[in-house]
Structure formats: C-alpha cells, structure tokens
Amino acid sequence: MNLKRNFVAYRTIVHKEVTRMLRVWTQTLLPPIVTMTLYFVVFGKFIGSQVSDIDGFSYMQFIVPGLVMMSVVMNAFMHTVSSFYFAKFQKTLEEILVSPTPYWVVIAGYVTGGVVRSLLTGSLVLGVALFFTRIHFEHWLAVFLLALLAAMLFSLFGLINAVFAKSFDGVFIIPNFVLTPLTYLGGVFYSVKLLPEFWQSVSLWNPMVYIIGGFRYGMLGITDTDIRLAFGVLFLFVFSAFSFTWWLFRTGKGLRA
C-alpha cells in the first residue's frame, strides 16, 4: 500500500473509533467526570481543607495534576482494550488482518482512538477542576507532551492486554489489579517526599511516580522526580510497547487461531 492508501486506512480506523466513543458518550466520557468530581469533593474539599499546603500550593491544587493524569491513563487503556477485544470477539478483526493494511497503521489507528478519548476526558476533568480551584500551568508544552505520551503508552498497553485476553474477565484484570494500585501509589494524593526513606526507594520502582511527577511539574512547577527522567521513562516504554505490539501482530500471537 502506498502512503495515500495507508492514510485512508488509518483515517477509517480512527473515524470508527472516535464515532464509537461519541455514540456511547454516557459510558465513555460521563463516568470519569462523575468519578473525578467525587474525588475533588471528598479529597479536595472535605479532606483537603484539613491538610496544610504542599510546596506552596493548596491540597486541592496539588491533587489536580494526579487526577487528570489518572483519568488520561485509565481511559486510554480502557478504550483500546475494550475496542480491540470486541473486534476479536465479533470476528471483525479478521477483516483487517487479511487486508493489505500494514500492521503499524492498524496499531496507530487504534492508539489514536485511545489518545483522543483520554485527552478529551482529561480536558473535561480539568474543566471540572475549575469549579473547585484555580488551575495553574507552569509549562504548557511539558503538560501536553506528557499527557500525549502517557495516552499513547497506555493505549498500547490496552492493545497488548486485548491480544492476550481470552474472556471478558481478562479485559478488566490489568486495570483492576495493576493500573489502579500503581496509580494510587504513584503520588496522586500525596508527595513521595513525605514517605519514609524506605518507601521512597520502593516508590521509585513505580513508573507512575515519574509520569504523575512530570505532569505535576508541567502544571505546578514542582515534582518528586527529575522531569528528564519522566520523559526518558515514557519514551522508552512507548517505543518498547509499540515494538512488542507490532511483533504480536506480525507473529499472530493471540490474534490467529
């Protein structure tokens, strides 16, 4: 396929993914907004009013970057894992695999769908946060790039999960038992610097610490980790995840009977 045909195939997949998301917006966009609103009310207002400022910012301002990134991560993952698994379950994926569409185009199409949903949800969560506190942006470019890379990474993780999932239960194992604990322990609601030295060292093995820390740096200008390390971790994981996903498509593992 030439470049023009590749672009048509890519655009078609993206259009299908975005249309599907918007058609069921009450399931894809509304629940995260309601959930994050509850976080803002419970943790930001009720509990946050009893917590002292952190590095010159109110507790409500401090948790906004973490909650936005948590929304980006979870929605990117859930979009691709659910969409791709249903394509397998309904046997519509076979039509794509037997077409001359390059594997990287298929992967890029699904990932773009996950990125669109996650960034849209993250923007809506930011809008909700405006009702509770003043939003501060220290480094706009860092905010955008980190959100984009995180969305790409977890969209790829969602694809990988969908490839190996054998049932509907397999779709929810990773988000429930891996992503949620890593996110909650990644510094969304607290600064890693406040932990005892031993737990600080343990936390540094959690990649979400770098992602959330880097995003918080972009918004507030404060971070528990080196911003360069955050970008390095994301670039490395995105490249590795894409390479592994492409290999799964090329070998047909989990895709062909």
Query: Residue 99: how many CB atoms within 10 A of its CB?
Result: 12
Each residue's pLDDT tens digit, 206-229: 999 999 999 999 999 998 888 998
Strand boundaries in the chain, DSSP class E: none
Whether 124 and 33 have beta carbons less than 8 Å apart is answered as yes
Q: What is the pLDDT of residue 257?
A: 52
**Banded pLDDT at 155 (limits 50, 70, 90):** very high
The residues, any chain, with a CB within 8 Å of residue 192's CB and separated by 6 or more, are: 200, 203, 204, 209, 213, 224, 225
Whether 63 and 48 have beta carbons less than 8 Å apart is answered as yes
Q: What is the pLDDT of residue 1?
A: 61
Whether 126 and 147 have beta carbons less than 8 Å apart is answered as no
Mean pLDDT of the chain: 90
The rounded distance, in Å, linking the Cα atoms of 232 and 167 is 34
The rounded distance, in Å, linking the Cα atoms of 79 and 85 is 10
Q: What is the mean pLDDT of residues 235-254?
A: 92
Q: Taking the model in full, what pTM does it have?
A: 0.93
Q: What is the pLDDT of residue 223?
A: 87
The distance of Cα 62 from the centroid of its chain, to the nearest Å, equals 19
Whether 184 and 205 have beta carbons less than 8 Å apart is answered as no
Select the highest-mean-pLDDT range: 37-41, 139-143, 151-155: 151-155
Q: Which of 11-25, 46-60, 70-84, 156-170 has the lowest mean pLDDT?
A: 46-60
Crossing angle (nearest 10°) for helices 59-89 and 30-39: 150
Which string of DSSP letters, residue by residue, matches 123-148? HHHHHHHTTTS----S-HHHHHHHHH
Whether 183 and 211 have beta carbons less than 8 Å apart is answered as no
Q: What is the pLDDT of residue 127?
A: 93
Supply the Cα-derived Rg of the chain in whole angstroms. Answer: 19
Each residue's pLDDT tens digit, 106-116: 999 999 999 99
φ, ψ dihedrals at 54, nearest 5°: -120, 115
